[in-house]
Amino acid sequence: MVFSRLITFSAISILLSACGGGGTSSSSTGSTPVAVSVPSASTVSVGDALSFIGQASSSAGQITQMSWQTEALTLGANPLTAITNADCKTMLTSGNSASCTLQLTPPTKLTADYTYKLTLLATDAKGNTSSTSTTLKVLQSASVTNNPVAQTGADASVTSGDKVSLSCAGSGGTPATSGTAYAYQWVVEDAAGLTISLASTTGASSSFVAPVVKDATTVKLQCRVTDDKQKTGTATQKITITPVLKPTIVPISYSGGTVQPGAAVALDGSKTTMYDVFGKEVSGTIYYLWKFKSGPAGTTPLTIYNPTSSVASVVFPSVVTTTSTYVFTLNASTAPIAADGTSADTVKQKDVVFFVSALPPITLTSYNLVQVVQSGASVQLKAETPNYTGSSPLYFSWTQTNTPLVTLVGTNSQIAGFIAPTVSVATTLSFRVSADYFPITVANPGSASVDLLVQVQPKN
């Protein structure tokens, strides 16, 4: 059962309405005989319907027009619902005073605490106007949809050029029962006029390099958590960036993105820049160190060529059967950097992310799946991969799956063969060929296979 909640003045506030009690009056003309009052700021934690009574009076004549305006002050807030009498068509008047009741309901889906601004405007018979506002804060607990809750890491203070780590965790709502419980998204909520480049916009964690600032500046990064029912919760992590106190390095790299298996790519940090204490770009010696950070589970660290140069390179594995993520870190400093990443001066870091595409699936067949031969004939077995267009090598394996056994040659190539045995009655031999990107063993039987039949006829 939903109850209407009335938000109104105390008796004293009503008596003082001519003085603007309850809200702060702001007139549209510099000086006006119209006084407007609204309820004080309020907070609710349930989704019940609400009523707001506004009062207006004028020393110059009767109040002839009133209206309410609603505005969301929280970024991304869902709108209020069931708003009635915002135009004050229903208005109570008494002499030169009038009142208007606004009715509304908080949104049913709240991903955070939402704040709204409610403004009452009034005009008297002489055309004098005035307005005043109040606020309504609706707590997330008023939501009836059980949205997930997002929780970010603690707010932090960093220096220009620092690598800033962001973390987020989801809870509540309806998490997925298999795989990843929640989907995550990072967005820049308030860049404060700066350019913020996130290393990743998906995943529970992300990072960015703090840009150069002349004064302490606070930026806001929002994490959005979506559950299995596509309901979303948000939270904001605040990062305060302070100016550098001595020349500093800001690592910059435009490397990264999607590449093919076996690709040789550049790790380019040549745009890395040095700034003085005033945020002005200056020249000087910059020291570099590229390091392998992470790859798929069980991956051996990839070799980085020329790791102490601004531009290094790496070669990705030639066989990648599922899309894989590789992360490298660009370290930069005004002093030499040791192999373990330490330096006499501050080391600035930037992560560079590559996504290695998966190889296409192998489609295996044969243009001669069934053959009929005579005893003693030379028989050729050939596997075909008609849809394969990749450059990675394929491995084949031939086996016989019934008797009588024959001696197969070329068992690890695309074409195998044997001499048909001498039989007295028609005999069918069965063979299986498998193909894979890896050498085929008992533990790795192949990602595709097909069976071929050879019927051996006795001689006339």
Q: How far apart are CA 9 and CA 16, in angstroms?
A: 10
Output the pLDDT for position 30.
55
Output the pLDDT for position 46.
79
Helix H or strand E segment including 156: strand 156-159
Q: How far apart are CA 225 and CA 61, in angstroms?
A: 55
pLDDT in tens, 446-455: 889 999 999 9
Helix H or strand E segment including 170: strand 163-172
- Name the band, by pLDDT with cuts 50, 70 and 90, for residue 178: confident
Mean pLDDT, to the nearest integer, of 135-151? 82
Of the listed ranges 109-113, 124-128, 344-348, 366-370, the one predicted with least confidence: 109-113
Of the listed ranges 14-23, 259-268, 369-378, 449-458, the one predicted with least confidence: 14-23
Mean pLDDT, to the nearest integer, of 92-114? 89
Torsion sign (Cα): 13, 14, 20, 22: positive
What residues contact 124, with CB distance under 8 A and at least 6 apart?
Answer: 33, 34, 58, 60, 61, 62, 63, 64, 96
CA angle, corner 107, sides to 106 and 111, nearest 5?
Answer: 120
**Helix boundaries (H) for 253-395:** none
Tell me which amino acid residue 240 is: T
- Structural domain boundaries in the chain: 5-142, 148-242, 250-356, 370-457
Q: How far apart are CA 391 and CA 24, in angstroms?
A: 73
Q: Which phi and psi angles does 147 have, rounded to 5°?
A: -70, 155
Cβ proximity of 288 and 251 under 8 Å: no
Q: What is the DSSP letter of 113?
A: -
Q: Which phi and psi angles does 124 have, rounded to 5°?
A: -100, 180
Cis peptide before 404 (omega within 30 of 0): yes
Burial class (CB in 10 A: 0-12, 13-18, 19+), 74: middle
Cβ proximity of 271 and 246 under 8 Å: no
Q: Among 92, 106, 94, 181, which Cα is nearest to 136's?
A: 106
pLDDT in tens, 190-207: 999 999 999 989 989 999
Q: Is the pLDDT of residue 66 over 60?
A: yes
Mean pLDDT, to the nearest integer, of 358-374? 92
Mean pLDDT, to the nearest integer, of 412-427? 95
User: Taking the domain 250-356, which CATH number applies?
Assistant: 2.60.40.10
Centroid of chain to Cα 193: 22
Q: Is the pLDDT of residue 341 over 50?
A: yes
The rounded percent of the chain whose pLDDT value lies above 90 is 67
How many CB atoms are located within 10 Å of the residue 418 CB?
22
The rounded percent of the chain whose pLDDT value lies above 70 is 92
DSSP-assigned beta bridge partners for residue 350:
330
User: Taking the domain 5-142, which CATH number applies?
Assistant: 2.60.40.4140
Classified as helix, coil or strand, 13 is helix
Q: Among 305, 314, 411, 408, which Cα is nearest to 353's?
A: 314
Residue found by looking up tokens 């069965």 in the block: 430
Q: Among 230, 147, 165, which Cα is nearest to 204's?
A: 165
Cβ proximity of 428 and 457 under 8 Å: no
Give first-to-last CA distance, the chain, whole Å: 94
pLDDT in tens, 308-328: 999 999 999 988 888 999 999
pLDDT in tens, 251-263: 999 999 999 999 9
Assign domain 148-242 to its CATH architecture. Sandwich (2.60)
pLDDT in tens, 22-61: 454 444 445 889 999 999 999 998 788 899 999 999 999 9
The residue ranking higher by pLDDT, 314 or 140, is: 314
Cβ proximity of 20 and 35 under 8 Å: yes
Q: Long-range contacts made by residues 78-84, C-beta under 8 angstroms, separation at least 24?
A: 78/107, 78/109, 78/110, 78/114, 79/107, 80/104, 80/105, 80/106, 80/107, 80/116, 81/105, 81/106, 81/107, 81/108, 82/49
What residues contact 179, with CB distance under 8 A and at least 6 apart?
Answer: none
Residue found by looking up tokens 């958590």 in the block: 225
DSSP-assigned beta bridge partners for residue 378:
419
**Looking at the domain 370-457, which fold is it?**
Immunoglobulin-like (2.60.40)
Q: How far apart are CA 299 and CA 316, in angstroms?
A: 11
What does the block give as tokens for 238? Answer: 């605040």
Q: Do domains 250-356 and 370-457 have the same CATH topology?
A: yes
